[in-house]
Amino acid sequence: MNLIKGAWKILVGIKDALVLVFMLLFFSFLFMAMQAKPNTVIREGALVVSLDGQVVEQPEEADPFAGIGGGSEVMRQHRLRDVVRALDASIKDSRVKVVVLDLDRFAGGYPAVISEVAAAVGRVRASGKKVLAYATAYTDSSYLIAANASEVWVHPFGGTLFAGPGGNRLYYRGLMDKLGVNVHVYKVGKFKSAVEPYTRADMSPEAREANEAMYAAIFGQWKEAVVKARPKARIDDYLTKPDEVVAASKGDLADANLAMGLVDRKGDRLAFGSRVAELAGKRDEKRAGSFRAIKLSDYIEANPSPRGGDAIGVITVAGEIVDGKAGPGVAAGETVSKLLLDGLAKHRLKALVVRVDSPGGSVLASEQIRQAILQAKEQGLPVVVSMGGLAASGGYWVSTPGDVIFAEPNTITGSIGIFGMIPTFEKTLAKVGVTTDGVKTTPLSGQPDVMGGTNEVTDRVLQSVIEQGYARFTGLVASSRHKTVAQVDEIGQGRVWIGGTAHQLGLVDRFGGLDDAIAEAAKRAKLDPAKVHPVFFEKAPSGWKNFLGALFRDDDNDDWADSPGGPDAYARIAEAQRATFFQAVGDARRIAMGGSVQVRCLECAGLAPAAPRAEDRSLIQLLLARILG
């Protein structure tokens, strides 16, 4: 009898396994069928560049479970080079009758990224093709893009106020004292303000000096670009005395924007849609605000990167530099180095371009990526570095192998400094009557002791390690930039620079974007830049996540009249408050989880929008992600 029961259980198990295999095969074939769609057909209409979210160098892997289980809305990310390529392609495309910029839900990006998109919009306008921009309330970033349009629209109940870069950040010294947390900081660089939030109650004079200079330069470039795009706009009046301007319009922000020449027309989304329909044609004769539209995602797919000629490899170092493995949007040392080494082995490359958009992070991971880049030089390949919106600290560390470094005038770079941080809780435990004791055989036994505190020997050892790391960093920069270590130390010390100043200091060689870097790499390989194509070494997205994402994603709407509106000026202020919350969560995570020597630029974070991370998802989302990997 037991034998029969055992056999029956085996048969049931085999049956269940076969059902599972067939289900997996079914969904796999279904996914492949969905992926194998025919080439997108682009018909005449308005190219709708709907930038709902951020523009970034490398989007993080899409979370197919975003929004499930009441979790926070995950900010959408658009790849910079795709957006720019689409805008440039529209210039000579007769099917694109007008370009529409939907900036209602635009969250921004780093200054150099915004400038690159704005320049692309300007090229479309200069070609004679109409560009119409719309938002309920513009931010500083979205307005710089919109200013380059032929017509700038604003909602009658909306309107825009400009804040400029800067503002307060959180400092936790008082909280640490109340909790009894003792933060041990080991650093080199008087401008390395990344640790200040945990050790001070306010900004140090050195950090204030550096930030004032950086913000002033960035804001100056922003104003110059706006004035160039809209010379008749009275931008200075609106920036210096906004209260008087708004009061003169009786509190109507949209009227104030119109009076200052910042916008051309007021109207809701239906009125704007009707205006676009005059240029692109109506989609539905009976429906107000409807026009023939071309989705941005379809247009990007129909206009891929060039593929002819010799191959120039492009490795992207985007996001925080961390140890181990990670998906796109995070520069994990093991992942990035493997992608590069595999690419060098599999492709017959003529040169390598390193695209950097990172605030830095782990020293170990930064060095791992640098060593992989050096393998390209071992093969005799020219190496050109292209800095995006941000290439600071560890982002500069991985740039040192470059034969030439390109950056934008408002790229954030430098921050040549290094630090480590260890919190201990002996005072916290003492508050509740808990103490520690034990036997030590050496001065380092049990050290660093997060419960009992560090001793002087440990502090001296760890500080020596940091100082050696800084010497290593400045030595790399000195060798790369043909300077003495003393010269690098003078412009180092953790200070952050913008691209224009970095160029004057010799940290950057030329101004230009990724295409300029690829062209330079071709020239150094003795090739015609017009006859090469980039090969991007990037991790392939997860098939299952793509499949589920396609099921749950609410993609660009086909009809303008169906797309949601954006927040007004007050709602934008609320967004800034939420950003402060996410900043606090991130600061807490860094002190609790940061365990390695860091070359990181935390002060750079204030120049891009804050957003919830994957760790902030709901429990249901996390469980589903864990089940499906």
CA-closest candidate to residue 412, choices 107, 120, 85, 109: 109
At position 287, the amino acid (one-letter code) is: R
Distance CA 14, CA 215 (A): 66
- Show Cβ contacts of residue 595 under 8 Å, excluding neighbours closer than 6 positions: none
Residue 267 pLDDT > 60: yes
| pLDDT value, residue 544 | 54
Provide the mean pLDDT of the chain. 85
| pLDDT value, residue 531 | 95
Residue 615 pLDDT > 60: no
Distance CA 59, CA 481 (A): 31
Q: pLDDT, tens digit, for every residue of 438-456?
A: 999 999 998 988 889 999 9
Residue 521 pLDDT > 80: yes
Q: Any catalytic annotation for residue 393? A: yes
Residue 581 pLDDT > 80: no
Whether the CB-CB separation of 100 and 51 falls below 8 Å is answered with: no
Model confidence at 36, pLDDT cuts 50, 70, 90, reads very low
Going by their DSSP bridges, the two strands 418-424 and 360-362 should be labelled as unpaired
Distance CA 264, CA 270 (A): 16
Active-site pick, 129, 130, 192, 545: 192
Phi-psi region of 307 (alpha: psi -120 to 50; beta: other; left: phi over 0): alpha
Q: pLDDT, tens digit, for every residue of 201-211?
A: 999 998 898 88
Q: pLDDT, tens digit, for every residue of 465-475?
A: 999 999 999 99
Distance CA 189, CA 123 (A): 42
Residue 166 pLDDT > 90: no
Residue 497 pLDDT > 70: yes
Q: Phi, psi at residue 579, to the nearest 5°? A: -60, -40
| pLDDT value, residue 197 | 86
> Three-class SS of residue 374?
helix
Distance CA 136, CA 269 (A): 9
| pLDDT value, residue 321 | 95
DSSP class of residue 328? T
Active-site pick, 90, 141, 290, 393: 393
| pLDDT value, residue 70 | 47
Residue 281 pLDDT > 60: yes
Q: Quick one: average pLDDT of 176-194?
A: 84
Q: pLDDT, tens digit, for every residue of 352-372?
A: 999 999 999 999 999 999 999
Exposure on the CB side of residue 235, measured as CA atoms within 13 A: 22
| pLDDT value, residue 599 | 74
Q: pLDDT, tens digit, for every residue of 216-254?
A: 999 999 999 999 999 999 999 999 999 999 999 999 999
Query: Tokens 């009076």 appear where?
Result: 259
The pTM (predicted TM-score) of the whole model is 0.86
Q: pLDDT, tens digit, for every residue of 358-412?
A: 999 999 999 999 999 999 999 999 999 999 999 999 999 999 999 999 999 999 9
Strands (E) located in 136-241: 151-154, 182-188
Model confidence at 28, pLDDT cuts 50, 70, 90, reads low
Q: Quick one: average pLDDT of 504-517?
A: 97
Model confidence at 591, pLDDT cuts 50, 70, 90, reads low
Residue 601 pLDDT > 90: no
Residue 434 pLDDT > 80: yes
Exposure on the CB side of residue 613, measured as CA atoms within 13 A: 13
